[in-house]
Structure 1
Amino acid sequence: MIVRPSPTFLQLFYIMRGSVVPKIFPQLGITAAFATVVVLLHGRYPAFVPSIAGVPFALLGIALSVFLGFRNNACYDRWWEARKQWGEMIAVCRNFGRQTLVLDGGGKETKVVRHELLVSVIQFVYALAIHLRPDRPSAPSRPELDPCLRGDLSDAVNRPDAILRHISTRLASLNREGAVSDIMFQTLDRSVSQLGGIQAACERIRGTPLPFAYSLLLHRTAHLFCFLFPLGFADTLGWLTPFCSVLVAYTFFGLDALGEELESPFGSTQHAVPLSALARTIEIGLLEAMDEKNVPPALQPIEFVLM
């Protein structure tokens, strides 16, 4: 996720970090070259490279703009829902840390159990981050908090769910032993269920992309419009046609590329949800709930990118 102050007027024209220009630069170059060739051939051989009326392009451009707007809204909704799910997980984990304070009054053994439960929640958070973004795994500040080092999870296909089962089993054992009352057990188990619901929602977002035909139609229409644009304005704009073509292509291809990145909120792009930073926030909160003094600092953006 890009984290930086608002750029000044001059910075708007040369900022590359956070821009989609590097991603769409090949399309922009091809569009400029094609527009230049069209203008050149139209001036020399107007019979072979005729000019087309610009009205159809205006109508198609309006329709394409509306279509792009709908798609980008859908992609942003996916990104925002992913961020809301992780925001809710921060609240649930903090609540769980407060709810387990009841175990501190039961003696040294229950204090050890509380520490074990909170460590398991931290491991769940990092396991979920790795589960959602395996190509760029998130690592905790301490080895004992790393879910990848747990031997009992080596054969688990879904490590986050396995950790939640372990937490539920431990809570049920405490309830049978009388260390946790029925009401308190239901309260703690409800928090565990909420974590499971958040995991399911994140898996749904990651495993259900926008319909392919929807994206394919938009890609085709945008490319056809940008490549045919010079034919409609070669007479009117003359040698300004390449510049205007690139400007139009930057708008349409840029929105298209940005929508693709927002469609995958758990990806490794610079616009993805910062899973590592959010997991570190939860780790800090739960370590403080355990009265730990050596708490790691929050992750900071690197070159304006927070992952």
Structure 2
Amino acid sequence: MHSGRNYTLQEFIYWTRRKIYVLIILAVVPTVVFAITGTKWILIPWPPILLIGTASALIAGFRNNATYGRSWEARQIWGRIVNSSRTFGIMTLDFIRHPQEGLLKEIHQRILFRHLAWITALRHQLREKRQWENARICPQYIEYAKFYSVPEWKSTLAEDIKEFLTEEEWQSVKNRKNIATHILTLQSADLRQLHEQGRITELKYLELQQQLKDFYDHQGGSERIKNFPYPRQYSTLSRFFFSILTVLIPLGMLNEFSKLGPNFIWLNIPFSIIVSWIFLTLEDIGESTENPFEGAANDVPISTISRTIEIDLKEMLGLEKIPPARVPDHYIQM
């Protein structure tokens, strides 16, 4: 997520420069051919281009609205994870009682650390690669990634989670397909045992179980967005439309500038590049927003959010060793 005031024009140009190179070729070649040979059959009237441009703009607007909805829903889910985690921390500290202060602190830390293990496992699972994602495939995303780092790609789950789970707990979940799910299973079993020991009353036990249910709901919402891509038929159609449009725009503009005189045809090169670049950038913006957990610059910052939760819960426990908040790299928060 970009947390600065805005992206700069230089950043947009750097991000789209490969396509700009193609646009330069598409603009220069027909202009030079027409200037040298005077070939008029390459000139195209505006009406068909306007029809294609209108269709492209409509589908781009539809796509961008839908992909923004996916991104905003993902952010809402992780906002609820923050609120639910704080509520769970307060409930854990207030609901679970033990006559021995030392054992009570140990129980509180065990449960809240296990919750941090769940968040750690979930964010690592959400950063896994999917076939339809762009962050690790498309050159423009790979190159722009040098301006920031994705914590889940720099360390393994085993390294990040060892602080929060005992060795026995880690061994029991590490080979599971969905580790986050089974960490909540361990959490539920621990709470049930504390209830049976009389450390949690019936009503408070049910409220804590409700919190676990909410965590499952939040996890399921995140996994649905992660594992169900924006429909490929719409994405493919949009790409086809814009590819056709960017080929036709220089030919249509060349037709218009040629009517002004032979010296004006060279204006076709900058103007057709600018118009085509606007359309392609609009398409790229929608594409960069459709997968909010892929590890790209416009992701929902789940690593930063997870660190915020970790800081809050550790401060609730009264621990002295508190990790620092994550700071943006070139205004990019992950």
Normalised by the length of structure 2, the TM-score is: 0.83
The CA deviation at 1:104 is: 5.5
Q: Deviations over 1:208-260 (max 9, x none)?
A: 11111111111011010111111112132321112122112211211222212
Moved more, 147-156 or 105-114: 147-156
Q: Does 1:166 align with 2:158?
A: no
1:90-105 → structure 2 map (5 Å cutoff): 90-103=82-95, 105=97
Separation (CA, whole Å) in 2 of partners of 1:103 and 1:112: 14
Shift, 1:141, TM fit = 7.9
1:144 aligned to which of 143, 163, 168: 163
Please provide the CA RMSD for this pair.
Answer: 2.2
After superposing the two structures, state which structure 1 stretch, 158-167 or 254-263, moved more: 254-263
1:287 to 314, 326, 332: 314
Equivalent in 289, 292, 296 of residue 265 of structure 1: 292
Q: Which moved more, 1:221-230 or 1:99-108?
A: 99-108
Q: 1:244 aligns with which of 271, 277, 284?
A: 271
- 2:235 corresponds to which residue? 215
Between 25-34 and 115-124, the greater mean CA deviation after superposition: 25-34
Trace 1:1-307 onto structure 2 (pairs within 5 A): 1-6=1-6, 12-13=8-9, 15-16=10-11, 19=12, 21-47=13-39, 49-103=41-95, 105-108=97-100, 109-134=103-128, 136-138=150-152, 143-145=162-164, 150-237=170-257, 238-307=265-334
DSSP-derived class of the 2:163 partner = helix
- Residue pair 1:126, 1:146 contacting (<8 A) in 2 also: no
Per the TM alignment, residue 78 of structure 1 is displaced from its structure 2 partner at its CA by 0.8
Superposition deviation, residue 58 in structure 1: 2.1
Label 1:206 to 1:193 Cα distance change in 2 as closer, same or farther (>3 A).
Answer: same
Identity of aligned residues (%): 27
* Secondary structure at 1:194 match in 2: helix
Q: Which runs of 5+ in 2 are unaligned?
A: 130-149, 258-264
**Match of 2:57, as an amino acid?**
S
Distance 1:6 1:71, change over 3 A: closer
Q: Secondary structure at the match of 1:150?
A: helix
Quick check: 1:175–1:185 contact (8 Å CA) kept in 2?
yes
**Secondary structure, counterpart of 1:166 in structure 2:** helix
List runs of 5+ in structure 1 lacking aligned partners: none
Greater Cα offset, 73-82 or 49-58: 49-58
CA distance in 2, matches of 1:296, 1:205: 29
Which amino acid is 1:284 matched to? I
Structure 1 contact 126–147 (Cα < 8 Å) conserved: no
TM-score by length of structure 1 reads: 0.90
Aligned-residue offset at 1:55? 2.1
Matched residue of 1:144: which SS? coil
Using a 3 Å threshold, how does the CA distance of structure 1 residues 231 and 6 change in structure 2: closer, same or farther? closer
Deviating above 6 A after TM superposition, structure 1's stretches of 4 or more consecutive aligned residues are: 139-142, 146-149
Aligned amino acid, residue 133 of structure 1: R
Give the direction of change, closer, same or farther, for the CA distance of 1:29–1:248 in structure 2 (3 Å limit): same
C-alpha spacing 1:243/1:277, structure 2 compared with 1 (3 Å): same
Moved more, 157-166 or 108-117: 108-117
**Equivalents in 1 of 2:175, 2:273: separation in Å?**
52
How far apart are residue 49 of structure 1 and its match?
3.5
In 2, the alpha carbon distance for the partners of 1:132 and 1:47 equals 54
Aligned CA distance change for structure 1 residues 202 and 141 (closer, same or farther; 3 Å): closer
**Which moved further from structure 2: 287-296 or 44-53?**
44-53
2:224 and 2:329 mapped to 1: Cα distance?
A: 29
Q: Report the Cα distance in structure 1 between the residues aligned to 2:186 and 2:160, rounded to whole angstroms.
A: 22
Aligned residues: 299
Q: For the Cα contact (< 8 Å) 1:96–1:188, is it kept in 2?
A: yes
Q: Write the distance in 2 (CA, Å) between the matches of 1:6 and 1:231.
A: 34
